[in-house]
Every structure is written in structure tokens, then in C-alpha cells.
Amino acid sequence: MDTKRLIVATLLSAMVLVGFEYFMPKQTHQEVAQQAAQTNRQTPPSDARRPAAPVAGVSSQPVSVASPQAETRLEIDAPAVRGSIDLLGARLDDMVLRDYHETVAAGSPLVRILEAAHDPQPNYVEIGWMNLAGGQVRVPDATTVWTADAPKLTADHPVTLSWDNGEGVTFQIVVGIDAHYMFAIEQRIVNHSAQPVSLYPFARVNRAYTPEETGGYLVHEGPISVVDGRLDESSYKSLRTGATPPGNTSWTKAGQGGWAGITDKYWLTAVVPQQGVPVTGSYGYQANGGAGVYQVGFIAQTPTVVGAGATASTASHVFAGAKEVNLLEQYQSSLHIPDFWKAVDFGWFAFLTRPIFYVLDYLNTLLGNFGLALMAFTLLVKALFFPLATRQFRSMARMRKLQPKVQEIRERYKGDQMAMNQHMMALYKTEGVNPAAGCLPMIVQIPVFWSLYKDLYITIEMRHAPFFGWIHDLSAPDLTNLFNLFGLIPWDPNVLSPYLQLGVWPILFGVTMFLQQKLNPAPMDPAQQRVFQVMPVLFTFFMARQPAGLVIYYCWNNLLTMAQQMVIQRRIQGATRPAAPVPAPAQKPAKRK
């Protein structure tokens, strides 16, 4: 019966490993991107109840794609980014991050966060105005050529874009950028006509391709927003299947301020409306017969009314950059952006994953190496859970002493399961042993280890973080390989199978796991012994495809566990060692009479 249960448990463990490999993120490359669809001028849908703009600025008509030969661009030169704004349509559609490269290789290109509509992976931001239903004001669109009052946008010098509609109304967009990734936007309407003007300001992020999602079920990638204090995370598929004409929207939410955009594992492009102002956020999708365009944005719930001879303006922000945790929290505090830190997917256990990240980040700042910070954190966790580990090992020691009696009961009542369980429970009660006591400390530590794993995977701070030796990126697998003698043979075993990837650190992990098993008494059942012998090999191949930082953490954790176990065992043996017998007092010789 025990052998059958063991076989079932082994099969379940194998299924867990395979499922983990399937659902968890994998180190893959982006396939050839889909071409952007050509789009046209936006027109708002009508509302039977009131003259209103379309929901959240999601276009019900395609947006035209400008020809590359016709482009006139405004250069962006800031400390953290460089790029340009397309003055044809006033699109923010060209930007790279100065501090981040695609790979750790020398000469690797900078990470591109925004890309024009005619490029392979279009990702851009549009800012504009929409008419009331039935309104006739000529508003700027994708074919509008704007005029800039300066040749370059820098962190010290904002630029004003202007366009006159020929009907007495001038539209202006004042663009500024800080030292990082936040653009400050002011939309102005200068009305020189004799009639009042009423328009809805909007801002939206457009992505005209479907990216390959590398985060699996561990990291959200796609549309994201916080409106009225509530986080919404949708998938690209839900936008495609849920978008319905005429508005082409799949989700809408009204509230006071907030933020919305499209997130990747490490990067975010988001629009932030003026806080405290009623807005409507939405997600949408335009099929356009090609790759389609995903749209996430905001539109004001009430129009901006500009009287004759008057000027009116609205303020907003655009974020396009790396999801650095501390920077997002700074923006949240200084610009009053609600829950902006949630752009980093800390998950349901954010109450635990965030504090753990702060500790890791502090240790990284203190030690100057994320790998050393990880090892120092593991040491702190071991010290924190030392009392629980002591209790666990003591319970295991007491259970080992009872193994002969337990085996005797199993042999005696192997044909009567109920009698066997009753006698075992009676034995545990007589000896004062709780079989579950050894598992409780392990269960308590599982949320900590899970939160640590999530932090290692989702935060950009570990991306391209070097360790020592050949590890130049803790977020990537160990690229050395036993099957080509660690580079001595000019051959890539992964050509045959991705499972033929076995680096130095995964091998060290398997060795530490094997040594850790040797510290514990071997199971009495031969079948269990065989399973325990195979487990280090299976986990070695499994960990070979995981980030090197995670493998280093587990190696170090195994070493600390072994040291901790030896210390606790010595204490237990010292406490249970029988005292030496007290020698009898020497008798005095009898006196002679």
C-alpha cells in the first residue's frame, strides 16, 4: 500500500514540475512582429441622452499612418531617454531608454519603448480633442502638421506645439519631460472666434501589434489601469474578443482621475489624466483587417468650454519607461497618482512581496551586488526562522526514533488499515509526538519563499544584474553547458533539445540537494530510497532553465540549511545525552581496635 502511494506521489510531483514548466515564464525571443494597420481620422459616436464624446477616447474609426518620407520630428534629449515626437499628428512615438540595453552583450541596442505606426512594433501615445456629438469644430487629427517653438525638447526646456484650424481656434500642446520617464502635458485651446467652443480632451496609448507574452501566469502583461482606486488587468485576447462597434470598446470605467496604459514585464506606457477630474477610462481594439490596434486611454466626462476670446487648458501626464519600483512610488507621491506602484505585479501577496523587495533593494544598495544582497537576505531569513527550524528538526528526530515501532505496527496490521491507523495514533499520543509538527514550520516559510521568487522575477532591479564569474545576468539562465564541456566543444546542445541545457550552477544545486539528503537518515522503504536518489537529478535539469539568481539562491539556501541542521542536531544530541553516573564517595578505612 505504501509503495502504491509513493508511486502516486511521485507521479503527482512530476506533473507539478511539468505544469510549472508549462505555466511559468520561459526565456524566449520575440517572433517577427506583425505589421501595423493603416488607420484614419477619429470620429466620435453619438449618445442619445446627451451630446458627448466617445468613451475614453477609443477610436471608432481607424487612424491614418503617416508616411515616413513626410515626417517632421521634434527631437527629445533627456537624461534617461532620447527620441522624437512626430509633428505630423503630434504623436509621441519614438523613444529609447538610455540606461537599458536589450542584452548584456557589448554593443547591444538600447531598449526601445515607443515605436512609430509604420515600424514593425508600433507603440505610441496620442493626445487630442474630440467634438461634441454633432459638433463642427475642426480639431487636429493624424494628418495635422504641428509647429514647434523650439528645435529640441529637454528636461530644462519644455516645447509648445501649435496648430491653427483656420477658423479662429488655435490648439496648443505644451510638452515637458523630467529627468526620468514622465512627460508633463498641457492641452490649450485659444479661441479667437466669435463663438464658444466645447471639446473633450483625451489621451490614449496605441499598440498596433500583439507582443509575445514572456511572463506566463506570474507577471501580467497587457492593458492595465487604476480608476476610482480599483486595479484592472485585462489580456490582449479579452480586448480582441470583447471590442464591440461602434465604439470598439471592451471595457469602460468612470471615476476621478487614475491612470491607464499597456504594461510589459519590465516596461510601461501609460497616460495619467488630471487627478480629481471626472474621466472615463476604457480599453478598445480595432481589427482593421491586419494586426489590429489595442487602445487604452481616458477622455473627460465633461467638455472643456472656451468662450469667445478666451483660453482654457487641461493638464495630464504620460509615463513611458522602466517600471523602477522606487521611481513609481515617487511619482505616486509627488503627482498624487493613485496606486501607481501596482504597475509592478507584486500579486495577491503584495503585503509580503513588497517588504521583501525593499529589504533586497536596501541590501543591494549596501553591498553593491544583487547576488550578494540575495545571499544576505537568505541568511536573515534563516536566522528569523531558526526557532521554527529547531522545532522542525526536533520533531523529525523524535519521529525517527519511533520508526521501528511504526514499522512494526505496519507489518502487524498491514491487512487492516483502520486498525493500523488507530494503533499509530495511540503510539503518537503515548509518546507525545505530533506527526504534523515537522511540516508546520515548512508551511509557514512557503509564502516567504514564494514572495522572494516573485520578486526575483518581476522586478527590473535584477534584470542584467551581474554576479561573479561567468554570471552577467541574474535574471537569465546559466548559459554554461555540461554537454559541450562548458564551451570547449563548439556545439550548441540546445539545437537537439532545450532540456540539454545544464550549467555549472544547476549542477552545484543538484550536489547541494544530494548532500542535504545524506544528512538525513535514509528511508526504510527501498522504493522511497530510489525516489530520493532520483530527485536531485530531476531538479537539477529543472533548475537549469530557471534564472541564475534563483538557482544561486537555492544553492546558498541548501548550504545554510545543512549548516543549520548540523548545529541543531548537535544541540539536540547534547540535550538528550545521558548524564554521567555520579561516582560513589570513597569509604574511609576502618580503624583498628
**Tell me, what's the pLDDT at 408?**
83
Give the residue carrying C-alpha cell 564517595: 585
What domains lie within the chain, and their CATH numbers? 73-345 (2.70.98.90), 361-574 (no CATH)
- Whether 11 has a pLDDT exceeding 60, the answer reads no
Average pLDDT over residues 439-462: 81
Q: Which residue type, as a one-letter code, is found at position 579? A: A
**Tell me, what's the pLDDT at 356?**
92
**Tell me, what's the pLDDT at 489?**
81
The answer for residues whose C-beta is within 8 angstroms of residue 272's C-beta and 6 or more apart is 257, 258, 259, 316, 317, 318, 319, 335, 337
Closest by Cα among 397, 394, 395, 426 to 409:
426
Q: Residues 167-220: pLDDT tens digits?
A: 999 999 999 999 999 999 999 999 999 999 999 999 999 999 988 766 567 889
583 vs 240: which has the higher pLDDT:
240
**Tell me, what's the pLDDT at 17?**
44
**Tell me, what's the pLDDT at 145?**
95
- Whether 268 has a pLDDT exceeding 90, the answer reads yes
493 vs 359: which has the higher pLDDT:
359
**Interatomic CA distance for residues 173 and 201, integer angstroms:** 11
**Interatomic CA distance for residues 552 and 374, integer angstroms:** 9
Angle between helices 417-431 and 386-412 (to 10 degrees): 140
**Tell me, what's the pLDDT at 402?**
79
**Tell me, what's the pLDDT at 105?**
86
485 vs 23: which has the higher pLDDT:
485
Give the residue carrying C-alpha cell 530510497: 529
| Continuous H helices in 248-324 | none
- Whether 582 has a pLDDT exceeding 50, the answer reads no
Phi, psi of 110 (to 5 degrees): -70, 155
* Cα-based distances in Å from 212 to 32, 72, 236: 10, 31, 11
Q: What percent of the chain has pLDDT over 70?
A: 81
- Whether 57 has a pLDDT exceeding 50, the answer reads no
84 near 73, Cβ under 8 Å? yes
Please report which confidence band the pLDDT of residue 82 belongs to, taking 50, 70 and 90 as the band edges. very high
Please report which confidence band the pLDDT of residue 569 belongs to, taking 50, 70 and 90 as the band edges. confident
**Tell me, what's the pLDDT at 450?**
85
Please report which confidence band the pLDDT of residue 21 belongs to, taking 50, 70 and 90 as the band edges. very low
Global confidence as pTM: 0.80
**Interatomic CA distance for residues 295 and 588, integer angstroms:** 104
486 near 37, Cβ under 8 Å? no
Q: Which segment of 27-31, 296-300, 458-462, 519-523 scores lowest on mean pLDDT?
A: 27-31
Instruction: Give SS3 for 207.
Output: strand
Closest by Cα among 268, 467, 295 to 371:
467
Helices (H) and strands (E) in the chain, counts: 11, 20
**Interatomic CA distance for residues 400 and 394, integer angstroms:** 10
- Whether 461 has a pLDDT exceeding 50, the answer reads yes
**Interatomic CA distance for residues 341 and 544, integer angstroms:** 32
393 vs 351: which has the higher pLDDT:
351
The answer for residues whose C-beta is within 8 angstroms of residue 31's C-beta and 6 or more apart is 212
Closest by Cα among 518, 507, 508, 516 to 562:
516
Q: Which residue type, as a one-letter code, is found at position 287? A: A
**Tell me, what's the pLDDT at 264?**
94
Indicate the average pLDDT of the chain: 81
**Tell me, what's the pLDDT at 33?**
28
Q: What percent of the chain has pLDDT over 90?
A: 45
Please report which confidence band the pLDDT of residue 441 belongs to, taking 50, 70 and 90 as the band edges. low
**Tell me, what's the pLDDT at 62?**
38
**Tell me, what's the pLDDT at 61?**
40
Please report which confidence band the pLDDT of residue 522 belongs to, taking 50, 70 and 90 as the band edges. low
Please report which confidence band the pLDDT of residue 521 belongs to, taking 50, 70 and 90 as the band edges. low
Please report which confidence band the pLDDT of residue 20 belongs to, taking 50, 70 and 90 as the band edges. very low
78 near 177, Cβ under 8 Å? yes
Average pLDDT over residues 246-263: 92
* Cα-based distances in Å from 167 to 142, 258, 412, 544: 19, 34, 100, 66
**Tell me, what's the pLDDT at 35?**
28
- Whether 542 has a pLDDT exceeding 70, the answer reads yes
**Tell me, what's the pLDDT at 302?**
93
Q: Which residue type, as a one-letter code, is found at position 380? A: L
Peptide bond just before 246 cis, omega within 30 deg: yes
- Whether 42 has a pLDDT exceeding 60, the answer reads no
Please report which confidence band the pLDDT of residue 589 belongs to, taking 50, 70 and 90 as the band edges. low
Q: Residues 204-216: pLDDT tens digits?
A: 999 999 887 665 6
CA 577 to chain centre: 51
**Interatomic CA distance for residues 492 and 504, integer angstroms:** 16
